[in-house]
Chain A
Amino acid sequence: QSVLTQPPSASGTPGQRVTISCSGSSSNIGSHAVNWYQRLPGTAPKLLIFRNDQRPSGVPDRISGSKSGTSASLAISGLQSEDEADYYCAAWDDSLNGHVVFGGGTKLTVL
């Protein structure tokens, strides 16, 4: 049972917009920035969004992040087959002397 809650799966057709939610609490998302990671099959996770809504260089602007209260969202518009991957949210949590918590991951399928 992950501390951050994500839907296990999401799907969309090419060109569509999909969103993935990440729900937490006051000790994690409510107090700290959310980061999103994309893990393509057979590869290491890659930073996709940092500090809630910032994109590293090389990440297209059709990918965006947002945060409100104790929840965050990742949005992918103009869905492409290359977006099919697992997506994870992560944040610092102040409980138990502080540690990082992840969401359980969302498998995005491009139909």
Chain B
Amino acid sequence: QVQLQESGPGLVKPSQTLSLTCTVSGGSISGGSFYWTWIRQPAGKGLEWIGRIYPSGSTIYNPSLKSRVTISVDTSKNQFYLKLSSVTAADTAVYYCARVHSGSYAMFEPWGPGTLVTVSS
């Protein structure tokens, strides 16, 4: 059974780059026709899709974040990554990674437990 786990700094200073890792266990990140995605949820607000990556490295990003987001993958480590540059307090959120089922690009299962990232000086 595939499981995901987010990791990374819980505190990032304004204007710096937020960097997170999602480690996939219980299966290969390259196995099956799955994409891998990042989603976030600011406190008291709804879910926001950040972007997704295919094991080949092909990516699609949320248009509202595209200029600041980079998602990458390392299949040898069974990990994929999120970098969000020039962060502000508005980027404070719980960040989730999840698996995307091909053919239904808004079908996310399973999810990682999430990690809180706070942007503050």
Query: Which residues of A line the B interface, CB within 8 A?
Result: 2, 32-35, 37, 43-47, 50-51, 56, 88, 90-92, 96-105
Contacts and interface: CB of A to CB of B under 8 A. Distances in A.
Contacts of B52: 100
A56 B111 CA distance: 14
Given A44-B113, A96-B63, A97-B60, 17 more contacts: A32-B105, A33-B106, A33-B107, A35-B108, A46-B109, A47-B108, A47-B109, A50-B107, A50-B109, A90-B49, A92-B105, A99-B60, A100-B37, A101-B49, A102-B47, A102-B49, A103-B46
Interface residues of B, number: 22
A45 B96 contact: yes
Q: Which of B61, B101, B107, B112 has the most CB of A within 10 A?
A: B107
B46 A102 contact: yes
A92 B101 CA distance: 12
Given A44-B114, A45-B111, A97-B60, A37 B47 contact: yes
A91 B47 contact: no
B106 A92 contact: yes
Contact of A2 (B46, B101, B105): B46
B46 A35 contact: no
B48 interface: yes
